[in-house]
Amino acid sequence: MASEEAHGSTDGENRKRRLSQYLPFEAIEIPKWGKKEDISIEEMIAEILSHVKKWEEMKDRYDEKLINKVQKEFLVEFIFHVNMEEESGFSTFEETDEFLTHFYARGGNSQRRLSMREQETLNLGNAYEHLLARINGEEEPSDYGLMEVNLLRETHEKLMKDIEIPEGYAKPGIFSNCSRKTEYKGEEYEYEKPEDMESAVYKLLDQCNIMFDHCIKGGLEDSDDLYCLFKTCAWFLFEFLDLHPFSDGNGRLCRILSSYMLSKFTPFPTPMYKEWTNSCKENYKDALVAARKSDDRQDVRSWLIYNRLLINDSKTEFLVVGSRHQLSKIAIDSITVGNSTIQPLNSVRNLGSWFDSNMSMSIHIGAFYQ
């Protein structure tokens, strides 16, 4: 039974409330490339959820070799569609399938140097499989779907292996601190240039992991959970591309990472592609530009200012710092953040700051906020 929190709200209700704060946007029912006869977002999510539940019920009945075979087939589809959308690799599915089939039939060895298209195709599959193998081999089951910086570096290295890097570009797996910009429809767009790119990536992944954890905490049991997971992937896709942490390969890497998050509920690689719509690359770029200019984007980013305290309010406590004289004048039994009551803490440990009785009050405060 879900525990009751402040004001009678359940864990599930608070979790969904926070997700609505973190993700204050909705999917467009009929985008400009859509058709009126397309099914609604609600119907799509319900159908996906139905298939997920059927898979969970029936997966143990299937032969493992058959599942592996189908997964390989889906991986080829995934590689082709990602390359097609990112304008890399082969231009047709047949070429992609033929190259990978022959390459692995030879034991994964080539008697000659691979062409650029071949190398990009091979790298994409290797990067995706490396990511899943690393996660499945090292992470706790409860951490599946979460991301960390070294995982991004390793996956990017695999993705860009043996790809010629233009002069001045950062090497694969290394964050770029150079100024970067692009032009679209006559307008110039500069990518972000934080003082410390690694810290910026840490912050982005931290935000994404928190939202992802809120999505899956209920076990993806209803349409709202699944819908929020798709919104989290959409949010991450845009913010990662806008940050553009690597010199090249950001689009392909982001699609790999989004598919990894979605693999929490699907056993097969999930590409973002236009197979079932009349959309084109220009529609995709238009959507990115619109998101960049949207006021909602700033609303999402502002979560850190207020909602940071709501990440795990059942384990959050506060400490009042001051002199004995100051503390004797105040009595704070608790504080309220949103709908949650936070309890006080009377001792401090593991905060990364040194507290000493001989230190002055100003030094105490300075050390606490380092």
The predicted-structure confidence for 198-252, as pLDDT tens digits, reads as follows 999 999 999 899 889 888 886 777 888 889 999 999 899 889 988 999 999 999 9
The answer on 199 and 329 residing in a single domain is no
Within a domain: residue 16?
Answer: no
CATH of the domain at 150: 1.10.3290.10
Note the pLDDT of residue 368: 45
Q: Do 256 and 155 form a contact (C-beta atoms < 8 A)?
A: yes
Shared domain check, 246 and 193? yes
Is the pLDDT at 158 greater than 70? The verdict is: yes
What is the model's pLDDT at position 110? 74
Separation of alpha carbons 10 and 85, rounded Å = 42
Q: Average pLDDT over the chain, rounded to whole?
A: 78
* 43-56: average pLDDT: 87
Does residue 337 share a domain with residue 191? no
The pLDDT value given to residue 347: 58
Supply 310's token pair. 């709501």
Average pLDDT over residues 98-111: 84
In a domain, 12, yes or no: no
- Cα–Cα distance between 243 and 240 in angstroms, integer? 5
Q: Cα(281)–Cα(287) distance, rounded to whole angstroms?
A: 10
- Mark whether 183 and 105 lie in a shared domain: yes
Q: Tell me which of 311, 332, 353 is where a domain ends.
A: 311
pLDDT exceeds 70 at position 48: yes
Average confidence (pLDDT) over 301-330: 52
Shared domain for 357 and 210, answered yes or no, is no
pLDDT at 167 over 70: yes
Same domain, 279 and 132: yes
- Of 21 and 246, more confident: 246
Q: What is the pLDDT of residue 365?
A: 47
pLDDT surpassing 60 at residue 349: no
**Given its phi and psi angles, is residue 7 left (phi above 0), alpha (psi -120 to 50 degrees) or beta?**
left
Q: What residues pair up with 182 in beta bridges, in sequence order? A: 189
Decide if 5 is inside a domain. no
The rounded distance, in Å, linking the Cα atoms of 22 and 211 is 7
CA angle 265, 268, 270 (to 5 degrees): 85
Question: Is residue 221 one of the residues assigned to a domain?
Answer: yes
At 353, the pLDDT band (50, 70, 90 cuts) reads very low
Q: Is the pLDDT of residue 4 over 80?
A: no
CA distance 291 to 289: 5
Report, as an integer, the average pLDDT of 60-75. 89
Going by their DSSP bridges, the two strands 340-344 and 317-318 should be labelled as parallel
- Per the structure, the count of domains in the chain is 2
Q: Which of 213, 256, 219, 222 is nearest to 237 (CA)?
A: 256
Residues 220 and 331 in one domain: no
Of the given ranges (42-56, 133-147, 224-238), which has the lowest mean pLDDT?
Answer: 133-147
In a domain, 3, yes or no: no
Q: Are residues 299 and 321 in the same domain?
A: no
Q: Which of 123-127, 185-189, 266-270, 347-351 has the highest average model confidence (pLDDT)? A: 123-127
Residues 220 and 187 in one domain: yes
Tell whether 11 is covered by a domain. Answer: no
Amino acid code (one letter) for 352? G
What burial class does residue 47 get, using C-beta atoms within 10 Å of its C-beta: 0-12 exposed, 13-18 middle, 19+ buried? exposed
Whether 304 and 339 share a structural domain = no
- pLDDT tops 90 at residue 57: no
Mean pLDDT of 52-57: 86
Mean pLDDT, range 164-180, rounded to an integer: 88
Q: Answer yes or no: are the C-beta atoms of 175 and 149 closer than 8 Å.
A: no
Identify the DSSP state of 37: T
Structural domain range at position 272:
21-311
> Can you give the pTM of this predicted structure?
0.74
Q: Does any domain span residue 2?
A: no
Short-list 133, 148, 156, CA closest to 202: 148
> Residue 245: what pLDDT?
94
Residues 76 and 124 in one domain: yes
- pLDDT in the model for residue 3: 44
Q: What is the mean pLDDT of residues 30-44?
A: 76
Reply yes or no on whether the pLDDT at 107 is more than 80: no
Select the more confidently predicted residue: 331 or 96.
96
The C-alpha atoms of residue 216 and residue 235 are separated, in whole angstroms, by: 16
Q: Check residue 321 and give its pLDDT.
A: 64
Q: Average pLDDT, stretch 300-319?
A: 48
C-alpha separations of 338 from 7, 34, 310 in Å: 10, 39, 8
Residue 180's pLDDT is what?
A: 78
SS3 258: helix
Q: Is residue 272 in some structural domain?
A: yes
Q: Does residue 174 carry a pLDDT above 90? A: yes
pLDDT of residue 75: 92
Bin 244: left if φ > 0, else alpha if -120 < ψ < 50, else beta. left
With 90 as the cut, is the pLDDT of residue 9 above it? no
Same domain, residue pair 167 and 267: yes
